[in-house]
Amino acid sequence: MSRYRMWFGRWGERRAARYLKRRGYRILARNAVTPLGEIDLVAEDKGTLVFVEVKSRTSTLFGRPEDAVTKTKQATLARAALYWLKSHDALGRPARFDVVAILAGQDTFDVQVIENAFPIPIR
């Protein structure tokens, strides 16, 4: 991954965290690394744990940012979230997955929060 892409991804995560805080979320962890994958943000919203995937793009030429959260990515996030819940003794807490989609233009950016972006898989 290029330095620019890494920088841009981190930029998006910082913007997303600020935006969510303004909406009343409490950020619990950033870039939570588990053996099963990384979670961009772990937050709490009105008593619900929220696992947040942040996707940032500079155009929609290859689709909207949220389109990059594929079924495969969802499964990886679900496994990482389950690991996080177990390791933080939080299995009984309500939880959901949100996606923050950021579309950055020349001098502006648009942030969209998709709550309950995909269901928690039950197996």
| Tens of pLDDT, residue by residue, the chain (123 residues) | 688 888 877 888 999 999 999 999 999 999 999 999 999 999 999 999 999 999 998 888 889 999 999 999 999 999 999 999 999 999 999 999 999 999 987 777 789 999 999 987 655
Task: Kindly report each contact of residues 42-46 with a partner whose C-beta sits within 8 Å and lies 24 or more positions away, as own/partner.
Answer: 42/84, 45/20
Angle at 113 between CA 20 and CA 70, to 5 degrees: 125
Structural domains in the chain, CATH included, are: 3-65+89-118 (3.40.1350.10)
Q: Alpha carbon 11 to chain centroid distance? A: 13
Rounded-to-integer distance, Cα 71 and Cα 115, Å: 17
